[in-house]
Amino acid sequence: MPMERDRYSRQILFRPIGREGQSKLAQSRVAIVGMGALGTVSASHLVRAGVGYVRLIDRDVVEESNLQRQSLYLEADALQHRPKAEAAAQILREANSEVVIEPIVDDLHATNAEWLLSDVDVIVDGTDNFQVRYLMNDISVKHGIPWSYGGAVSSHGVTAFFRPEQTPCFVCLFGSDASMPGHDTCDTVGVISPVVSMIASLQTADVLKYLTGNEARIANRATHLDVWANDYYHTELGQPREDCPCCKHHQYRALDAKSGAMAVSLCGRATVQVRPDHPVAIDMEAFARRLAAFGKVNFNGHILRCELDGATLTLFQDGRALVHGTSEPAVARMLYARYVGM
């Protein structure tokens, strides 16, 4: 089609991609886990590049504090508290109608990880916690799917491209403890948008190399940078560890857990996510009427928000909730039990 040739003409002129590479992109499938700062930049690059299918996975809604660095969202999205995956999908479809975009309003956990990630060619990390990264790593090793790791906080960031049987896996480098206590977060030290854009761009450059058959151009190293201190350096990844429980002995501890923490704090603000132990289907209209007796309710057909006891509860149809106004999981669980009752 003439429009297709015009749309991707500058990318096709780039010899390492060319027409053959562009055709490969059109047949490729990518999942992006987390549609925050890193995820929005990665999604924009990949959709505009013509990756044929992109799945957007995110559990959260748009907040005003996101707008400083999460490039696909508008003020109206924050005012309406739209789910990030759906808000991003709308913008991306308008940018490239040729790409199939599937928004998933949920978080990644042990019971849905294989369903959401095992049918794609590459997994892109846009998350802000290590527990989810261990899940992505398990899926990567078990199903032979590479994944692009990225993290950014304050003014510094890091990225690496993990390929099963070719590079060490995440467990090789960081051990088996998914809790990883003591590291900085955007809650504690903040984050500026330039480092996010740079890390996500490096991530997606490696994804494009892989999908277009230029895997030899992917370095076996982690890239570190600090945009404020003007630092840029690399760490060699080396080879997989012979004693690695994941990639050598095929023990998928994160994936085999089958149930995650009931409550987990989210990065960037005083919010805790609470998830029921078992999947449920909520009658949202009935819950809106029920909660109206306790506080101001806003129901937009997808999610329900209610102000109660000095906090705001955002309820999703699968029973998952975000409790805004606290960073304490115990407080969030108490409010959830009191008003949701599961």
Beta bridge partners of 148: 124, 161
Q: For the chain, which residues score pLDDT lower than 50?
A: 1, 181-182
Say if CB 342 and CB 297 are below 8 A apart. no
Closest CA to 4 of 18, 22, 29: 22
Task: Report whether 306 contacts 296 (CB < 8 A).
Answer: yes
Neighbours of 159 (CB within 10 A): 24
| 179: its two tokens | 């809790």
Co-location of 290 and 195 in the same domain:
no
Q: What is the SS3 string spanning the chain?
A: CHHHHHHCHHHHHCCCCHHHHHHHHHCCEEEEECCCHHHHHHHHHHHHHCCCEEEEEECCECCHHHHHCCCCCCHHHHHHCCEHHHHHHHHHHHHCCCCEEEEEECCCCCCCHHHHHCCCCEEEECCCCHHHHHHHHHHHHHHCCCEEEEEEEECEEEEEEECCCCCCCHHHHHCCCCCCCCCCCHHHHCECHHHHHHHHHHHHHHHHHHHCCCHHHCCCEEEEEECCCCEEEEEECCCCCCCCCCCCCCCCHHHHCCCCCCEEECCCCCEEEECCCCCCCCCHHHHHHHHCCCCCEEECCCCEEEEECCEEEEECCCCCEEEECCCCHHHHHHHHHHHCCC
The answer on 212 and 114 residing in a single domain is yes
- Residue 273 to residue 284: CA distance in whole angstroms: 18
Whether pTM > 0.85 for this model: the answer is: no
Say whether both 107 and 144 belong to one domain: yes
pLDDT value of position 133: 94
Domain count within the chain: 2
Same-domain check for residues 61 and 136 = yes
200 and 58 in a common domain: yes
| pLDDT attached to residue 258 | 65
Tell me which of 256, 291, 309 is where a domain ends.
256
Q: Catalytic residue at 244?
A: no
Residues 253 and 176: beta-carbon distance below 8 Å = yes
* Residue 274, domain CATH: 3.30.310
User: What's the pLDDT at 1?
Assistant: 47
pLDDT tens for each residue of 172-196? 998 876 555 445 667 657 899 999 9
Give the pLDDT of residue 5: 64
Among 144, 176, 295, which Cα is nearest to 241's?
Answer: 176
Say whether both 190 and 313 belong to one domain. Answer: no
Number of Cβ within a 10 Å radius of residue 251: 15
Cβ atoms 94, 43 nearer than 8 A: no
| Catalytic residue of the set 169, 172, 186, 244 | 186
Same-domain status, 60 and 77:
yes
282 shares its domain with 215: no
Cα separation, 215 vs 209, in Å, equals 6
Q: Are residues 227 and 97 in the same domain?
A: yes
Give the structural domain span for 296: 263-339
Structure tokens that stand for 313 in this block? 């509860």
The whole-number pLDDT of residue 270 equals: 82
Cα distance between residue 79 and residue 67, in whole Å? 11
Is 37 in contact with 69 (CB distance < 8 Å)?
yes
Residue 272 sits in the same domain as residue 251: no
Beta strands 304-308 and 311-315 are antiparallel
Whole-number pLDDT of residue 195:
97
CATH at residue 131: 3.40.50.720
Last residue of a domain, one of 256, 271, 293: 256
Q: Is residue 292 located within the same domain as residue 175?
A: no
Using the 3D structure, point to which of 256, 286, 315 is the last residue of a domain.
256
